[in-house]
Amino acid sequence: MKIAKIVARAAVIAALYTGLTYAFAFSSFATYAVQFRISEVLTILPLFWGEAVIGLWIGCLLGNLISAPLDIAFGSTATLIASLMTFIIGRLLRRGNLRVFLGAIPPVIVNAVIVPLTFTVFAGAPEAYPLQFLFVLIGQFAVLAVGGVPFGLGLTKYLTRFRAPKAAEKAEGTDKDKAAESPTVPDTHNRS
């Protein structure tokens, strides 16, 4: 059951990323302007679930199918690297809002470094790299600052409220189970 849940969550994340990329294609694929890929809001998810790394990678791969072959390869690789880094931040910082802010940094930096390579250096225009780096950096920062961080903070708040009562119920049930399993031993030391 647990494996099915993990695979299903990864598939839903991949489908959401792909769907958002296609739905907002007018702003998702910009070569000589700032691109605002709305689907990048989801790059905060590896903080919460490891399976989001694969889901985002597959979603980016599928989302880039309408783009150039280099973008398919390098864009997907950038998403995979950034997702892994975000996942590691999520494991190192298990609680607090700081992890959401720090988790938003890898998608911004990694994409700003790797994505411009596809339409500058490999396209024979390496002199355009610094400008394209800046454009991708601005677009990624804007999407994650306006959408990704608030989404991550909201998800943190929701999961904290949702998981805390479940964990308490589980712990309470475990204590009751232990009490029921342990045999009752009469207290022979206290003789009054």
Answer yes or no: are the C-beta atoms of 45 and 64 closer than 8 Å. no
In a domain, 78, yes or no: yes
The residue-averaged pLDDT of 36-57 equals 97
pLDDT above 90 covers what percent of the chain? 66
In a domain, 190, yes or no: no
The residue-averaged pLDDT of 59-79 equals 92
Count of structural domains within the chain? 1
68 is in which domain, residue-wise? Answer: 2-170
In a domain, 69, yes or no: yes
Q: Does the pLDDT of residue 167 top 50, yes or no?
A: yes
What pTM does this model have?
A: 0.83
Residue 51 maps to which CATH number?
Answer: 1.10.1760
- Least confident segment among 23-32, 54-63, 142-151: 23-32
Count, in order, helices (H) and strands (E) of the chain: 8, 0
In a domain, 189, yes or no: no
